[in-house]
Chain A
Amino acid sequence: MKRAVAAVATGQTDHASSRKDVGIPELVREAVDRCLEPRELTFADFDAVVLGNMEMFEGINMVEHWLADAIGVAGKPLWKLNNGGTVGSSTAVAATYLIASGFHDRVLCIGFEKQSEGSAQSSITTVGDPIWERAVMAGAIGNFAAMTSVYVNESGVTAEQAAKVAVKARRNACLNPHAQLKMPDLTVEQVLESKMLAHPVRMLDFCPSSDGACAVLFAAEDDAASLASRPAWVHAAVTAHDQQYMGDSPKRLAEMRSLIEARKRGYAQAGIEDPVRDLDVAEIYEPATYAELAMYECLGFCEKGGGGRFIDAGTPLMDGALPVNPSGGVLSANPVGATALIRVAEAAMQVMGEAGEHQIENVRTALATGYGGNAWTDLLVLRSEKP
């Protein structure tokens, strides 16, 4: 990279199933204020914004214009991204490139969603190809569950192993003031008895629908070092995509081509050879329990087919060798436009020592991933040392 880039400040709302007290502008501003105010920064302290949102969920097009006063961009350059669940982390990848290239010095990334205001399943129909796919859609859950059947067939992971991911997530969430679903006493049995949504995915296997926003400020070189005592330096920022039709890659969980591609490039950029050894914490985008098991494999945390055994061994738990999603992850809060940026924010917080009760000790290297749409993937590696 031409210039070293770091995350220097983060802010999030307290994510909820429905925020009846605020409209979208106030919701977004909450996250922006929480990012800037503790460091006594104002709108004069950044020179560009990258905004992420799935506009169809709230039905407000050109949302960046509508939110201009809420996010203080009058007269400033702004880019709006709209690429599914990945959008939040894509704003971070974009900010990295904008600063590394020298075109901007300080970029504020913002992601948000107010899902209580729309019908996500109806809106998701518009993601389907109008000619080929819309007539037989089954919402996100039908698509996801069909992919899961392929992964289960290939890996042999069990419903119990998947349920362990749900228990980990909702118990970790109890240590995160921003998480929506906190369940300190959740058991595997309760997950296995929860309502079946689409075989084999049950209610407690799946992420919630949320209202929430997140903001992360990125800066370069010495400026970053002056803004934060322990900046989270970007050592890798990559993005990868896959083919366009939903049926083109049935192994989208079993062999997540875009995640594998992003992993190879990202690990090479950051010099990661053995992820369990070289990473201290990972915040990954897991829309459901089975996805997290598959992602352990695609990220090289374990061998192919070993996702279930990986959680059986306790490695991704808070006290394990590689804690995965100490924040509670997507399973605990999923305001889609913000979710992947929350992964970046949480990874940055871990490096910066700002994760409070869910802080993992001695974090030098953190991983963040984004997942969405037709398996678009982003991957970032953040470190306490400058590259």
Chain B
Amino acid sequence: MTDEPLRLPEQVTLRYRFAAGSFASHFFTTLKEEGRLLARRCPNGHVLLPPRPVCGLCNVETEDWVEVGPRATLGGYTVVHVPFTDPMTGVGRPVPYGFGLIRFDGCDTNVYHLIDETDAEKLRIGLPVEPVWRDASERTGSLADILHFRPLYEEDA
């Protein structure tokens, strides 16, 4: 009998149905139906996205909704050259692609999203960007309703 290495493949497919909760539901419903972005503000003035019941910086409950953006600035960026297959869709994202931290005007935290630029030399921290939206008819109520962020080079001082 051979003693060659033996490896057995197994694919595990996990299926979930996540309840988004009241904060996310309000955010995404407003995003989908009105194209507005709502963040949560705590009594000490921190404006947070994703919206959440408690401010992690102060450990106090957030108290109201605040509209932010849609304009934003880059909080951090990269251009990715490593192919990435989304394990949820099986679809590969073509490389290279821009990716980074987006800080909506008026917000204190960042969210990750895609950037419509593949030359890293043209990007910088603080660059103004704006969201490029899917057609209203294609929106499903998720952050993917924004296709990516477009650098506003023409406005960059």
Check whether chain A touches chain B (CB < 8 angstroms).
yes
> Are B111 and A132 in contact (CB-based, < 8 A)?
yes
B56 touches A138 (CB 8 A): no
Inter-chain contacts of A197 with B (CB < 8 A): 80-82
Q: Report the Cα distance A250→B109, complex, angstroms.
A: 8
A145 engages B80 (CB within 8 Å): yes
> Do B78 and A146 touch across chains, with their CB atoms under 8 A apart?
yes
Q: Is the CB of B101 within 8 A of A146?
A: yes
Which residue, of A119, A149, A246, has the highest number of chain B Cβ atoms within 10 A? A149
Q: Which residues of B contact A195 (CB under 8 A)?
A: 81
User: In whole angstroms, how far apart are the Cα atoms of A279 and B21 in the complex?
Assistant: 48
Nearest-Cβ distance from residue B131 to partner chain A, whole angstroms: 12
A247 x B112 contact (CB < 8 A)? yes
CB-based contact A131/B81 at 8 Å: no
Task: List B contacts of A153 (CB < 8 A).
Answer: 124-125
Given that A129-B50, A138-B84, A146-B101 are contacting pairs, would A21 and B112 also be in contact in the complex, using a CB cutoff of 8 Å?
no
B interface, size bucket: 35 or more
Interface residue range, chain A: 35 or more
Whether A136 touches B113, Cβ cut-off 8 Å, given contacts A146-B100, A150-B76, A200-B120, is yes
- Answer whether residue B75 sits at the interface, using C-beta atoms and an 8 A cutoff: yes
In the complex the two chains form, is A142's CB within 8 Å of B85's CB?
no
Give the number of residue pairs across the A-B interface with Cβ within 8 Å.
125
CA distance A167 to B76 in the complex (A): 27
- Which of A122, A129, A135 contacts B144, CB < 8 Å? A135
Give every chain B residue within 8 A of A102 (Cβ-Cβ): none
CB neighbours of A141 from chain B (8 A):
80, 82
Q: Which residues does chain A contribute within 8 Å of B16, judged by CB atoms?
A: 130
Report the bound CA distance from A130 to B28 in whole Å: 14
Q: How far is the CB of B125 from chain A (nearest CB, A)?
A: 5
A239 contacts B by Cβ under 8 Å: no
- Residue on A with the closest CB to B85? A122
Given the contacts A122-B87, A125-B88, A245 and B143 also touching, CB distance less than 8 Å: no
A241 CB, nearest partner CB in chain B, Å: 10
Q: With A130-B16, A136-B113, A250-B101 as given contacts, are A146 and B76 in contact (CB-CB < 8 Å)? A: yes
CB distance from A150 to the nearest CB of B (A): 5
Residue of B nearest to A248 (CB): B109
Within 8 Å by CB of A148, from B18, B78, B79, B97, lies B78
B110 within 8 A of A: yes
Which A residues are CB-close (under 8 A) to B110? 247-248, 250
A247 and B84 in contact (CB under 8 A), knowing A131-B20, A146-B77?
no
Within 8 A of B (CB), among A325-354: none
| Minimum distance in angstroms from B45 CB to a CB of chain A | 16
- The distance in angstroms between the C-alpha atoms of A119 and B12, with both chains bound, is 11
**B6-21 vs A, Cβ < 8 Å mask (1 yes, 0 no):** 0100101010101011
- 26 CB < 8 A contacts A-B: A20-B5, A119-B87, A122-B85, A126-B14, A129-B50, A131-B21, A131-B24, A132-B24, A136-B143, A137-B86, A138-B84, A138-B97, A138-B99, A139-B80, A142-B80, A143-B112, A145-B80, A146-B99, A146-B100, A147-B76, A149-B123, A195-B81, A198-B80, A198-B81, A198-B82, A243-B56
